[in-house]
């Protein structure tokens, strides 16, 4: 019997579970670390609702909470898919594929959120505690960090699929 090809392994591995987990973890990191702990920005602080009044802070806090609810849905969906896949006896588990898919999801979150919210819509920027002329550098670093995770995760995922095919 021939070993499965990397393509067959990728089809059988619960990649969507890792991607959803990564998206959710990326959102949780952004919301918990950047919104709450460092308080660098909130959901719409650059869209005319800076956190300089109780009403604006209440709106931003509500939107931050809705954002966290969405990231919770991503993590829950990832957990469900992973749990459902764990019952398949033919599943070939790979730590590299799981780590890679998590990194791809986390990186995709940063790239998509950074492009849409920071660049296109201008809802907020990564670090609004620094002068406005520095925002672009923080936003660019956030995008680069996301792209690096996306690419590194993809490479790790591919490596794991090749290793699984060789076993």
Domain boundaries, the chain: 6-166
Output the pLDDT for position 93: 76
Output the pLDDT for position 4: 66
Task: Compute the distance between CA of residue 106 and CA of residue 34 in angstroms, rounded to an integer.
Answer: 15
Output the pLDDT for position 63: 97
Task: Compute the distance between CA of residue 149 and CA of residue 155 in angstroms, rounded to an integer.
Answer: 10
Output the pLDDT for position 167: 75
Task: Compute the distance between CA of residue 4 and CA of residue 165 in angstroms, rounded to an integer.
Answer: 5
What does the block give as tokens for 154?
């993809």
Output the pLDDT for position 70: 96
Output the pLDDT for position 9: 65
What does the block give as tokens for 57?
């802070």
Output the pLDDT for position 89: 66
Output the pLDDT for position 86: 80
Q: Which residues of the chain fall short of a pLDDT of 50?
A: none
Output the pLDDT for position 94: 86
Torsion angle of C-alpha atoms 59, 126, 142, 14, degrees rounded to 10: -20
What does the block give as tokens for 13?
């591995």
Output the pLDDT for position 126: 97
The DSSP code for 126 is S
């Amino acid at each position: 019997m021939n070993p499965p090809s990397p393509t067959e392994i990728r089809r059988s591995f619960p990649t969507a579970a890792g991607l959803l987990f990564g998206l959710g973890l990326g959102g949780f990191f952004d919301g918990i670390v950047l919104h709450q702990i460092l308080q660098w920005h909130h959901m719409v602080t650059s869209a005319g609702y800076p956190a300089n009044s109780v009403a604006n802070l209440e709106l931003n806090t509500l939107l931050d909470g809705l954002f966290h609810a969405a990231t919770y849905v991503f993590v829950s969906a990832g957990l469900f898919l992973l749990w459902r896949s764990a019952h398949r006896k033919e599943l070939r588990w790979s730590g590299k594929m799981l780590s890679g898919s998590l990194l791809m999801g986390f990186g995709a979150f940063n790239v998509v959120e950074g492009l849409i919210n920071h660049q296109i819509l201008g809802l907020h920027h990564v670090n609004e505690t620094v002068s406005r002329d520095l925002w672009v550098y923080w936003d660019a670093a956030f995008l680069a960090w996301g792209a690096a995770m996306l690419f590194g995760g993809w490479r790790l995922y591919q490596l794991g699929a090749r290793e699984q095919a060789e076993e």
